[in-house]
A and B are shown apart, each in its own frame.
Chain A
Amino acid sequence: MLGVLLGLSAALGFGIAAVFARVGLQDIKATTGTLVSLVVGTIITMALAFVFHTDAILKLAGVAFLWFLLSAFINFPLGRLLNFTGVSMAGVSKSAPIVGSSPLFATILAISIGGESINTMIAIGTLSIIGGLAMILSQR
């Protein structure tokens, strides 16, 4: 039960973040907005990381930083900036569900590159996501 409440709290945080971003991006460019949100996020997550995982940080291998760099490039100058651009131009109600479909693309990659297999549940879920995206994207 605690896990459910914490998971829903996380969803609430992400959902509220998109709405605040929508309001803020009326006055400020998506690029600047991305930077502001990242500065705040970095301060908090870095503090939490040092509080809970000091030993792991001190033992990080050099190659891990190359992976962090790759992840950072795809996640922030691409993912977060495109997310904020979408929120700013299409509105949060249309952008949020489109961005929320990202597990579909992770699954496509895992199946096509990682050799993972597709099953009935994934197939039905994929059809549902594509149907939902089509409903949203067909609006003008």
Chain B
Amino acid sequence: MITVQDPKTRLMIGYAASLGSAVAYGTVAVIGRKIVGDYAPPLVATAFSMAMGTAMVALLFVGDVRSDIGSAPRRGWIMLVLAGLAAAWGVSFWYLALDEAPVVLVAPLVGVSPLVSIVLAHFFLQRLEKVTKRTALGALLVVGGVALVTLGNQ
């Protein structure tokens, strides 16, 4: 794992990583349609894919994990466990929602999660980062656009 100190370089790497993540998640969504259509229910596909992903990450980054075990404070571990629990809560409620309503309704609702993060960051992470009006407006455009793309795909 590379450590970068320069704030501008960190920001640029953060932007590139986030865009890379969006491309990866977009690709998985296309593959996921094939899996769910032909082989397994969504929850089963997610569970097995996540188990395999866990094994891959563990094998690839065992050195980083070992060094963090010796040095990272307890607070960091607790926060990341809570992040995992919250994400699992998100996945579970997503499937429950799909049992009650069509994907055309559920997907745009779930798509507002970046706005949730921004609101929480504004109120609770003021010492870590500043939420600008430009970021909030950009996020609104992205979330609105995602809703339109989702509706247009149905």
Give the B-binding residues of A (Cβ under 8 A).
2-4, 6-42, 44-46, 48-49, 52-53, 56-57, 60-61, 63-65, 67-83, 85-110, 113-114, 116, 119-122, 124-140
Contacts and interface: CB of A to CB of B under 8 A. Distances in A.
Residue in B22, B61, B65 whose Cβ sees the most chain A Cβ within 10 Å: B22
B97 A103 contact: no
Chain A contact residues: helix, strand, loop or mixed: helix
Contacts, number: 499
Q: Is the interface of B mostly helix, strand, loop or mixed?
A: helix
Given A26-B76, A133-B142, A99 B25 contact: yes
A73 B59 CA distance: 12
A72 B84 contact: no
B125 A19 contact: yes
B133 to A, nearest CB: 10
A100 B118 CA distance: 12
14 contacts: A10-B92, A15-B113, A21-B79, A37-B80, A45-B43, A76-B52, A80-B53, A83-B21, A97-B139, A103-B107, A104-B22, A116-B153, A132-B143, A136-B138
Nearest to A40: B84
Interface string B86-114: 11111111111100111001110111111
Contact of B96 (A6, A81, A110, A134): A6
A89 B128 CA distance: 11
A134 B137 CA distance: 11
Nearest to B109: A7
Contact of B27 (A15, A105, A128): A105
A56 B48 CA distance: 12
Contacts of B80: 20-21, 24-25, 28, 32-33, 36-37
Contact of B40 (A10, A19, A39, A64): A64
Contact of B117 (A9, A15, A68, A74): A15
Contacts of A65: 48
B125 A14 contact: no
